[in-house]
Structures are given as structure tokens and as C-alpha cells.
Structure 1
């Protein structure tokens, strides 16, 4: 009975070590890809925040552009003169 417990313990320890070293090797290979992915996401978030900040700081220019666009959609004004 003691022999069976010792073999079970030994198998458990070997499985734990195998999983540990296996994950260590896998992460060693995947680390460059994971870091690149994470840095690209952080870079994208920073660019989005910068654009939002820039848009927030220039509200008057956006209003002028919207007014110009809305005026163009209305059409031309033609002034007719009366002939006597």
C-alpha cells in the first residue's frame, strides 16, 4: 500500500514539473508575439485618446466647418431686380 502511494506521489510531482516546464517553453516562444500584440493595443488606445483630446481642444473649427457644410447644402440665393 505504501508503494502505491509513493508511485502516485511521484507521478503527481512529475506531471506538475512537466506542466511547469512545458508552459515555460511555450511562453518563451509566444512572448514576442504577445508583447507585440499588447503594445499595438496600447498604441492604438493612446492614438484614440490623442485624437479625442485634439478634437476637444478645437471645437470652434469644427463648428465653422459644420456651418459651412450646412450653408452649402441649402443652395444658392438669387436676387432678382425689378425692371421698370
Structure 2
């Protein structure tokens, strides 16, 4: 059976500490760039959707009637859910 040596422990500890500081260093400079790119892409998508929405509104479409064309004198039919049953209490 092999036993762990003190030198192996120090080497493993040194690798963990170096990896931690390398990760912190990379994230300090890389993370803001990634966030900037994600925000820029989201902004571009938002502007594109706004532009598409504006273009769709400028084109007249008469596929569905709006509330302007519905006759206000004719009441809307309510949905019939079921039959009303009146119960009596028995003593």
C-alpha cells in the first residue's frame, strides 16, 4: 500500500492555489467582456424586435375585427358552464 507523502500534499495544495488565483485573474478580465457581449446582443435583438413591431404596425392588416367594429348594442353571449341545481337542507 502506498502512503501519501508530504511533498505530494504540498504539490497538490500548490496546484489548487495556483488554479484558484488563475481562475480569479481570468474572470476579472474575461467576465466583463462576456457580460458586455451578452448585453450588446440582447440590445440588438430588442432593437430588431422593436423595428419589426413598428414595421408591422405601419402596414394595415384587416384579418381580425377590432373593438371598433363590434356592435356595442349586441350583448356578448356568456359561456354556459353548467346547470344550476338548488339544494334543500333536510332536518
TM-score, normalised relative to structure 1 = 0.55
Q: Which secondary structure state, in structure 1, belongs to the residue aligned with residue 37 of structure 2?
A: helix
Equivalent residue, structure 2, for 1:10:
10
Which structure shows the bigger proportion of residues in helix conformation? 1
Greater mean deviation of Cα atoms: 21-30 or 52-61: 52-61
Total equivalences in the alignment = 60
Shift of 1:20: 1.1
Q: What stretches of structure 2 of length at least 5 have no aligned partner?
A: 62-91
TM-score, length-normalised on structure 2? 0.52
Query: Structure 1 segments of 4 or more deviating over 3 A?
Result: none
RMSD: 2.3
Unaligned runs of 5+ in 1: 62-84
Residue 38 of structure 1, CA deviation: 1.7
